[in-house]
Structure 1
Amino acid sequence: MSKVQKMRHPTKGSGLPLAKHAYQDLLHRIISFELEPYQSLSEASVSEMLGISRTPAREALALLAERGFVEVMPQRGSRVSPLRNSDLERSQFMREALELALLRRVVALPARDKLIESLRKEITLQRTYLQFDDKDGFYGSDEEFHGLIAAYAGRSDVLPDIRRMKVHMDRFRHLMVQAVEDLDVVIHQHTQIADAIETGDADAAEAAMLTHLRRIFSYVDEARSKYPDYFDSSPEPNLRVRP
């Protein structure tokens, strides 16, 4: 059994093509550490795990390898990729660019009352989820908080791009929830973002959002200390983005 808490699997029968469904199922297991870094994967094992034939299993593994979640080892099969600083840094860099652009748009809106009301409702929900130790609910609300900013900026269409960019971050984040992260800090940061949007202070809003998005870097060393076997053991440059 994995050392970290399991997440629920996506619902089957979603109508997606079988290979795409298999990809999403495997990705969910990788993010949640049900499939752990360096764990071997093969067409046969995936077929048995998901109850599918080898063709969609092979296609799903190829897509995971293309996106950096699975490594193909010559003559040895495939394995789940370890955690790497470079993956986190690249994902963070792209996410910041989009989220800060969305934030600047909403701060410049002449009417922000409905957005502020919606953001504060999510913050209240997050406090409830934290009280009942519902981490899945908490992070669903976290996604909604950021989604509201995109929606009020008139760019809900970029949300799928943000989600794709942050998948490697989600993997780190799920590990850190188990290791070190204080979700009270997240609520405080969301409150600071909402406050700055309400007052129309673009500089304060951007500073609060950057602190929020970059908090993950402050936990990497401690998470690596707690779960050393999950990280790439080869030398990597230090993270270039720091809070």
Structure 2
Amino acid sequence: MSDGELETYSLVELAVDRLRRDILSGRTDPGERLVEEQLTRRLGISRAPLREAMRLLAEQGLIEHIPRRGARVATLSDDDMRELYEVRDVLERHAVTSTPAAPDLTRLRAALDTIRTATATDDRLELANAHRRFHVEVVALSGNRQLTALYESILVRIQLFMAVNMRREAETARAVDGVLRHERLFTAVETGATAEILEALGAHGARTYLT
């Protein structure tokens, strides 16, 4: 890869990171148009790396390309969300029942520490990402990499939907409640009791962010 290609690739990564943060933080709403001229000015890049970044985000389900209307932040219907939660639950149950005894919990413990830190600093985007990472690490304990990758892609799309509710939830729920929920789930995983793990996952419900 030439220096020019490396530079272009780094600009694509920059654009993906910035746009992804905007979308998943709720800074841009589902259905909001993404105007190339505005984005190239704000990001300080040309159209080529921006379009490649948007193509990659479309593959992740975060952006939609509408014929003759350009690109916009992806939207999800109530049916979409119901189906995503159903798929999430099926994958979680399979992963939990497939997890070997006494797995290495180092990465899961680190994810829980990140939740605590983000809660203490009131970093909402970091907290949302930490919640996702914690759940991914629970599933990763199964050792099935393909299942874990699919599961994470489902959670990213759920995070897109829940991003619009992040501010409202911050106003109506205690941040420490999220810490307590994930500490209970960690304890269940640590004890290795499958029924307790599934009960803890189910207790999250579907009403709050990445539940």
1:94 aligns with 2:83: no
Tell me the distance in 2 between the aligned counterparts of 1:95 and 1:31: 18
Deviation at 1:179, TM superposition (A): 0.7
Corresponding residue for residue 169 of structure 1: 158
Structure-to-structure mapping, 1:1-243, within 5 angstroms? 16=9, 18-19=11-12, 21-65=14-58, 67=61, 69-72=63-66, 74=68, 76-106=69-99, 108-109=100-101, 111-112=102-103, 114-115=104-105, 119=108, 122-123=111-112, 126-156=115-145, 158-180=147-169, 182=173, 183-212=175-204, 215=205, 217-219=206-208
Deviation per CA, 1:182-206: give whole Å up to 9, x if none: 3333223223323333443322211
What SS is found at the alignment partner of 2:28?
Answer: coil
Deviation at 1:72, TM superposition (A): 1.6
For the 8 Å contact 2:9–2:49, the answer to whether it is kept is no
Deviation at 1:52, TM superposition (A): 2.5
Deviation at 1:48, TM superposition (A): 2.4
Q: Residues 135 and 194 from structure 1, CA distance in 2 versus in 1: closer, same or farther, beyond 3 angstroms?
A: same
Tell me the distance in 2 between the aligned counterparts of 1:199 and 1:14: 48
Deviation at 1:30, TM superposition (A): 1.9
5+ residue gaps, structure 2: 1-5
Tell me the distance in 2 between the aligned counterparts of 1:56 and 1:34: 22
With the length of structure 2 as denominator, give the TM-score of the two structures. Answer: 0.70
Q: Residues 148 and 73 from structure 1, CA distance in 2 versus in 1: closer, same or farther, beyond 3 angstroms?
A: closer
For the 8 Å contact 2:136–2:152, the answer to whether it is kept is no
For the 8 Å contact 2:33–2:73, the answer to whether it is kept is yes
5+ residue gaps, structure 1: 1-12, 221-242
Q: Which amino acid aligns with 2:86?
A: F
Tell me the distance in 2 between the aligned counterparts of 1:180 and 1:119: 25
For the 8 Å contact 1:180–1:219, the answer to whether it is kept is yes
For the 8 Å contact 2:8–2:49, the answer to whether it is kept is no
Deviation per CA, 1:100-158: give whole Å up to 9, x if none: 2222233x51x35x53x765565455344323323344344434433443443223554
With the length of structure 1 as denominator, give the TM-score of the two structures. Answer: 0.63
Aligned-residue RMSD, C-alpha: 3.5
For the 8 Å contact 2:63–2:71, the answer to whether it is kept is no
Tell me the distance in 1 between the aligned counterparts of 2:8 and 2:90: 33
For the 8 Å contact 2:62–2:73, the answer to whether it is kept is no
Tell me the distance in 1 between the aligned counterparts of 2:55 and 2:208: 31
Q: Residues 68 and 193 from structure 1, CA distance in 2 versus in 1: closer, same or farther, beyond 3 angstroms?
A: closer
For the 8 Å contact 1:120–1:191, the answer to whether it is kept is no
Q: Which amino acid aligns with 2:192?
A: G
Q: Residues 140 and 59 from structure 1, CA distance in 2 versus in 1: closer, same or farther, beyond 3 angstroms?
A: closer
